Amino acid sequence: MTTQYIIGLTPHERELWDLLQPTVEDTGLELVRLKLLQRGSPVLEIMVERQDVSQGSVNLDECAEVSRRMSRILDVDDPMPDEYRLEVSSPGVERPLTTVAALEAHVGRQVKVQLSQPYDGARKLKGFLENVSEQAIELKTEKEVVTLDLLNVQDVTLKLTDEEMAVVMKNAKQRN
């Protein structure tokens, strides 16, 4: 398996990603996000989606199956030092973009970016994703186009424009 850069992972989260990604892929899904959060006790938050997103959203049964498979691996390999809670979900419409491939797939779309170190005094930027490379992204903000080193990027989240949100809402109404 080729090592790919995953935005915002700690070394421990990277170890977990490498351990769990093959299990997710075996189910026909893709690992979108992995975060180890402190909410009182540790929570391992996993987001998955279909490898072919044109086949629709991940359902509850698929999330439960991924959770069961991951639990077995985590119990055997025991990479978590303390008790934790495992949460598996789908990313939703304003999803995190954690890989270069995910970023490339959303060039031209509006995103929110969280930085480790401020850019021009700000750690949070919003704009349109203009360009993506293995090392950086270009973001068109209201003021300018800025180049952000991926090593300084903690989080990138897709932000729907008002027009995109209207389409999502219309489609949801048609399904009901």
The total of other beta-carbon atoms located within 10 Å of residue 67's CB is 16
| Same domain, yes or no: 20 and 65 | yes
Residue 59 has pLDDT above 50, yes or no: yes
Q: Are residues 104 and 41 in the same domain?
A: no
Burial environment of residue 31 by CB neighbours within 10 A (0 to 12, 13 to 18, 19 or more): buried
Domain containing residue 107: 100-163
Where does a domain end: 63, 89, 115? 89
For residue 142, tell me if it sits in a domain: yes
Q: What percent of the chain has pLDDT over 70?
A: 96
pTM of the model: 0.82
**Would you say residue 76 lies in a domain?**
yes
Residues 28-50 have pLDDT tens digits of: 999 999 999 987 888 999 999 98
Number of domains in the chain: 2
Task: Identify residue 127 by its one-letter amino acid code.
Answer: G
